[in-house]
A and B are shown apart, each in its own frame.
Chain A
């Protein structure tokens, strides 16, 4: 056996799992095969009383092999075939459970997904008191469900309500909590774990699960004749509807597995689970979420875009220019990552105000018991506030986050470069000014780069790295190494106006304003956007960033492009709101919404007078298409223009950068999900109806004709990186 070491001690078979080529044990075909062999060996040997399953690694088993699972949707196999496959792991576990010999799981470390399901099929579970250990069934987070019997065994152990909560959220719990819930029997010191399991086999050794014993009743009852479960089911379904907006099939599938399966004998329940599992494999959402959020994000976090041949670097001392909201946030996350931070502003007070941001966030963490006053103090110690450029000496990296003005930026660049080491990398957090232009103010443009954060910095996982014309490999590598230090996810884009994220996100807000100008009901626009999975409606977000800012950006763009400038379709609405109506955004108390003091915001009632409601309102479906497809189309243009170089960056950037719906897998995966030709046809129709922003790029038309997806021609770097 390749993945299991089989030893018999005192009549107990100790099965130690070690999938050698992986950092964590996952359910590879080899492991499943070896488990089957081990089972047969245990069953066939009269000298073996029972078995203990454990792992040679620090973790137990981390779950299914997602690299394989992600291929299921596109492999063209039928539902019947997929159902047959999904039964195989599940029935292996059922065979362990009904083998007639007792199995004990010595859960020495993290057991997630199928890893925990192996344990649930064992007759006894003892977890090691390992501080790194987490247990859970997180399949829902990649659009799947626990298909190894989890939806049937967990509720039979701990009741429907608790089981549903754990599985629909995909929660990771520590061993002590698992004990409290009731799905492990004991928690012992790490070095006692296998011994405790072995002892149980020898001294108790019951080879029968509770649900296979006569008279078994699921804790808390099941089915509709049981008043207790009705409330759980009713509210649970509604909450899932609210959280998923019907965009994610997995949570309700999990509920149905539990609801339908727990009133039946477990074998029939397991069959139902396999059918729902298969239905999720036939659905693109799982492919989308696994590909983008797990595989591609994993690769990005491992810096798949990092240029070869540059030595790994570490930022020890970071200089931040500008202690506004962005600078303050960057200081915080960098100090958390143990860097020395110099936070510079025009005067000491302003810099201190920027440091207050960190003080506030740390106080919140102290209040929530997530850190101590001592630790917080140590973090704050790392941030030095100043107005003196001389304090920037010795910085490995500079991040400029001053006012969005070429002149001001050029000025601080010069002042800074006069002081910092020649090897230092200089980055700008600008969200709109092309890097190549900013780099003109630099003595060392090959060391000038864009590092674009998102607000609020402490929460947003994405960082957009922008390469100017002259930016060199070393600057890129240092930027990526820094982003890895602060544990965020990078994408790498080439310089252009608006880069990738600001530019494409702008098509969303523009479409929202265009719809307003057409007399579409604003409540419809906002609700459809959110129900389509966008984090915030276009009108609300426009108010948040302020219409005034949008207006200034448009003016600056016009100035820069001159004759080449053409206003966006939504510009007339923005113009009217800023110049005529003086409704400039949330900060001004009014925009598309009114913001009453101490109350909740609501759409401005006067809008109907300015833009009378259209006689015929569009359907929700049509509004959704306009809002989502316009973003996808512009992403294709970004790819064509070389702004983004890999579809993965487009997908990750959209979800993590501006809240494009995760179930789509990102702006480019959306196109694949809709179907290339269907998407093209719809955009042709919308170009006709609504304007040239829906014009299909030739590249996409060809792609659709050839049936060639965005990921068909990638070099597999992501896959290699994530393994």
Chain B
């Protein structure tokens, strides 16, 4: 089996997912185009060598419809022989795209590809593609569908995380992200998004609220109280988990991932192509796995997905230097740490989506890049990246520096 190496990665800054967000005026195709252009230009890449460009996008409708990956290949001026594909594994799509390209390379069916993602949530809101999962009565009812915020609160209730616990986690994320930005940890990988005249539109994540305290967070209202108590979703959750007395609604806008706009790309290839193109490999992709987990609680996929990829790679958690788990909600990470017996100083060491935002289709590729940069900064070796996923899934990847 061939090996798949990460040669480079870039990401756009994350703009606030609102009309006043820094990237709101940038179309999704434009954002994606700039990521592809950047990867080409940074590496002086002859794009004709690319076998595929795979991009995650969770709401592929409207401006994000019609296979944005292939279209961006054309608008970025890549050679027309480069195909493209959009995929959707919900919140893990960006990582799934990376895994897909890696699989092609490892299987010897591709030499070089880009895996990444895009989501402009301020322009194409989450849920724009609707779907039977939540809206077909038979389906929603039979699968005990509940929205992700309910799942997050259910995790907190079932596994014993208080409002104080989740707010404490969120403060730490803010502190770490602010520190990382100030210290320039992200400078090499975050590109400036430019307008048509070449002027900078946004060059920094703008969702952050540095200096956030627990007191600040304590003032926020629970975000999922109304869907839980008035729309019936708490009852649905307890039908699946009757051993939980009631749902404690601890998540707010301040301890959940931010809604933002962003795009990212990771350049992946085998050893031979790197040699041929003069690219220096930064890490190998050791293995990856996706799993399905209970859909009503929805967000408990990280632990089993991590366990599966570790087993596949013949490793244990002791072999991992850094963990990077998307901060969809604070309780998700707290539960993962509890399940795998990890310390907070091993995971999300430069903050996460609570501080910086979660552009659904792109995040998986972004956090992969973030942890790779940190491995390099620390001169450490191995990282495990994973994400919780809608409808109860988890996707995990292990990388090892070379």
Residue numbers of A with Cβ under 8 A of B are 224-225, 229-230, 233-243, 245-246, 252, 255-256, 259, 521-524, 526-528, 531, 602-603, 617, 620
Contact = CB atoms under 8 A, between A and B. Distances in A.
Contact of A239 (B130, B144, B231, B243): B231
B232 A521 contact: no
Interface in B92-145: 127, 130-132, 134-138, 140-141, 144-145
A241 B130 contact: no
Contact of A234 (B135, B242, B244): B135
A19 B102 CA distance: 76
B239 A246 contact: yes
A598 B324 CA distance: 43
B140 A524 contact: no
Contact of A241 (B134, B144, B242, B244): B144
Interface in B282-336: none
B245 A242 contact: no
Given A233-B136, A259-B138, A527-B243, 18 more contacts: A224-B131, A230-B134, A233-B140, A236-B137, A238-B140, A239-B231, A240-B137, A240-B141, A245-B235, A246-B141, A256-B137, A256-B138, A524-B242, A527-B242, A527-B244, A531-B239, A531-B242, A602-B246
Nearest to B241: A527
A53 to B, nearest CB: 33
Given A521-B243, A527-B238, A238 B232 contact: yes
B236 interface: yes
Contacts of A521: 243
Interface residues of B, number: 26
B231 A241 contact: no
Main secondary structure of the interface of A (DSSP, over half): helix
For the complex of A and B, list the 4 residue pairs with the smallest distance between their C-beta atoms, beginning with the closest: A242-B235, A242-B232, A527-B242, A238-B232
B130 A230 contact: yes
A236 B141 CA distance: 10
Contacts of B144: 241
Nearest to B140: A237
Interface in B235-288: 235-236, 238-239, 242-246
Interface string B213-245: 000000000000000000111011011001111
A244 to B, nearest CB: 9
Contacts of B232: 235, 238-243
A230 B132 CA distance: 10
Given A233-B137, A252-B138, A252-B141, A238 B146 contact: yes
B242 A602 contact: no
A448 B30 CA distance: 89
A528 B131 CA distance: 31
A233 B138 contact: no
B242 A225 contact: no
B135 A230 contact: yes
Contacts of B132: 224
A225 B130 contact: yes
17 contacts: A233-B136, A233-B137, A233-B140, A234-B134, A237-B137, A237-B141, A238-B231, A238-B233, A239-B232, A240-B232, A241-B141, A259-B138, A523-B244, A527-B243, A528-B242, A531-B239, A617-B243
A224 B243 CA distance: 35
Nearest to A257: B137
A671 to B, nearest CB: 24
B148 to A, nearest CB: 13
Nearest to B245: A523
Given A224-B135, A230-B135, A235-B231, A241 B239 contact: yes
A528 B231 CA distance: 21
Contacts of A620: 242
B338 to A, nearest CB: 18
A148 to B, nearest CB: 21
A269 to B, nearest CB: 15
Contacts of B231: 234-235, 238-239
Contacts of B141: 237, 240-241, 246, 252, 255
B150 to A, nearest CB: 10
Given A241-B235, A242-B235, A602 B137 contact: no
Contacts of B246: 602
A259 B127 CA distance: 18
Nearest to A624: B242
B144 to A, nearest CB: 7
Most buried by B among A238, A246, A259, A603: A238
B285 to A, nearest CB: 37
A235 B229 CA distance: 11
A241 B236 contact: yes
B158 to A, nearest CB: 10
Contacts of A523: 242-245
B65 to A, nearest CB: 13
Interface string B49-63: 000000000000000
A600 to B, nearest CB: 8
Contacts of B127: 230
Contacts of A246: 141, 239
A240 B145 CA distance: 12
A241 B228 CA distance: 13
Nearest to A229: B135
B137 A252 contact: yes
Contacts of B131: 224
Nearest to A520: B243
A230 B145 CA distance: 14
Contact of B135 (A233, A242, A528): A233
Nearest to A244: B141
Contacts of A233: 135-137, 140
Contacts of A241: 141, 144, 232, 235-236, 239
A236 B243 CA distance: 25
A531 B123 CA distance: 41
A475 to B, nearest CB: 46
B130 A224 contact: yes
Contacts of B244: 523, 527
Nearest to B233: A238
> Most chain-B Cβ atoms within 10 A of its Cβ — which of A234, A235, A603?
A234
B21 to A, nearest CB: 22
A523 B233 CA distance: 18
Contacts of B135: 224, 229-230, 233-234
Given A252-B138, A256-B137, A603-B245, A245 B239 contact: yes
Contacts of A239: 231-232
Interface in B74-88: none
Interface in B139-191: 140-141, 144-146
A229 B231 CA distance: 15
A224 B131 CA distance: 7
Nearest to B144: A241
Nearest to A232: B135
Nearest to A525: B242
B236 A242 contact: yes
A53 B20 CA distance: 61
A524 B238 CA distance: 10
A603 B157 CA distance: 14
Contacts of B233: 238
Contacts of B245: 522-523, 526-527, 602-603
A243 B239 CA distance: 12
A192 to B, nearest CB: 41
B331 to A, nearest CB: 19
A531 to B, nearest CB: 6
B296 to A, nearest CB: 11
B242 to A, nearest CB: 4
A235 B145 CA distance: 11
A551 to B, nearest CB: 26
